[in-house]
A = this chain, B = another copy of it.
């Protein structure tokens, strides 16, 4: 906003500066090993302003399932979730992993609050319809109630979101953590200026997949189309970026694709409209 010379200038409501909120999604591996978890929580605690952490936990779920003699079946990277597997992921994501993160954050002065979608009914989903594949108790998000969440965030509470939702008919449902992060970001964008950060194994989207340092620092829809046309961006990165643009179109200010050790520096690929 340019400072105007009119001394009676008052910013209009639409120009009102909203508080920044960072929503960081990390995968399972980093939160499931105590050394990498500790570093992550330290980095996360250094992010200034309001923040939310969204976590996975698939490796721990697979490990517990194996100990209990339950086979883990994956299709397209998604876990087929039968009744016994639902209990496993509810225990691991909602209990073990979530509470280890919450307790770890509390120890370094971050007032964390662990949540599943059932808690305060903040995220309701519906069991995925059976087509060729029956994913079982897997939920597709239908409704996000971000009001109470936004109130808590504004009071300094830091939500830690497990990859679980509910159907408001009494069932927990297994839900992809990327989806949780994206849906939470879109709903919270009504209350905050949201930066959504997706962490993966590279420092960002790469110009050259063989050169880990060739990070594309900025992406827009125009650049994205250009890179796709040139096959610079391809494969699994395309749906990830399409989801990012969808979030931006729904009001999220920026999406950053980065590596977990960069979350406090905001380096990586910044995507805007």
Contacts and interface: CB of A to CB of B under 8 A. Distances in A.
A67 B65 CA distance: 11
A93 interface: yes
Given A92-B95, A96-B87, A148-B155, A107 B168 contact: yes
A51 interface: no
Q: What is the predominant secondary structure among interface residues of chain A facing chain B? A: helix
* Number of this chain's copies in the complex: 2
> Which range holds the interface residue count of chain A?
35 or more
Interface in A104-144: 104, 106-107, 111-116, 118-121
Nearest to A147: B155
A120 B168 contact: no
Interface string A143-167: 0000010011001010000001010
A116 B94 CA distance: 11
A103 interface: yes
A111 B120 contact: yes
Interface stretch (A72-80, A169-177, A235-243): A169-177
23 contacts: A91-B91, A91-B96, A92-B95, A94-B99, A95-B96, A99-B116, A99-B118, A100-B172, A102-B119, A103-B118, A103-B166, A103-B170, A106-B118, A106-B121, A106-B166, A107-B169, A111-B120, A112-B119, A113-B119, A114-B118, A148-B152, A148-B155, A152-B152
